[in-house]
Amino acid sequence: MYKRGLIPLYIIAFVFITIVSVLFCRRDVSDKKSSVKVAIVIDDWGYNLNNINLLGSIEIPLTLAILPNLSFSEEIASIEHQYVNRELILHMPMEPENDSLRLEKDTILVSMDSAKISSLIEEALITVPFAKGISNHMGSRVTQNREVIGAVMKELRSRGMFFLDAVAVSGTICEQVAEKYGIAFAKRDVFLDNVADKEYISTQFDQLIASALEKGSAIGIGHDKSLTLETIKEKARQLEGSNIEFVLISELVRI
């Protein structure tokens, strides 16, 4: 029993703990920075295994775009799909506007019908197992052709896969066609290594981060080159403890 007018100690303690908890939670929420998401895709895997060890030393999540039908396509896919910080997509060769460029084997051409396109994608995926999506390798001509890119999107819909537009040309219509077919879609914001120079790549990386800070997320594309990977590794380490969160490309695709 307690005297009327006096508040029991356990009630005082409960109120005190509740107030402290509320204040602490409010402070934690207000102090915590909202994370900004950045996805980096590394193109053109499959020619060799030269950079596999260097790749393994990079801790941030990376998406690997693997070319099909090459000597090491399947081996790289089989090695890298085991790691939670790696994601695989098929880097499907598509016809460019520049006719002087060398085409990969079984490149999708604008002269092909939907059956042929479907067959090429099916065969390509055999050599790139575990792929969750597809991106275009070159393809400035294909990605402006509604009928051909539509055939690609229909194939992706049947397989539950997403499409990453590397934006090989400003006139790409991939986003509109992906929306028509209900395909999860994303597009590249920044190319990291069009110039094989560390200072250039570093500057492009900074541009990628700036774009992400402005929009909330951004996608960068680089290539299977030691200088590119070394620069990414170095720049990512500089951002440790920041509000930049590196993610796999599947986290940024949208329908």
Band of pLDDT at residue 8, cut at 50, 70 and 90:
low
Convert the pLDDT of each residue in 124-163 to its tens digit. Answer: 999 999 999 999 999 999 999 999 999 999 999 999 999 9
Question: pLDDT at residue 17 above 50?
Answer: no
Mean pLDDT within 166-186: 98
* Residue 22, pLDDT above cutoff 70: no
Looking at domain 36-251, its CATH architecture is Alpha-Beta Barrel (3.20)
DSSP string, the chain: ---TTPPPHHHHHHHHHHHHHHHHHHHHHHHSPPPEEEEEEEEEETS-STTHHHHHT--S-EEEEEPTTSTTHHHHHHHHTTSTTEEEEEEEEE--S-TTSPPPTT-B-TT--HHHHHHHHHHHHHHSTT--EEEEEE-TTGGG-HHHHHHHHHHHHHHT-EEEE--SSTT--HHHHHHHHT--EEE--EES-SS--HHHHHHHHHHHHHHHHHHSEEEEEEES-HHHHHHHHHHHHHTTTSSEEEE-GGGT-B-
Least confident of 3-7, 73-77, 110-114, 181-185: 3-7
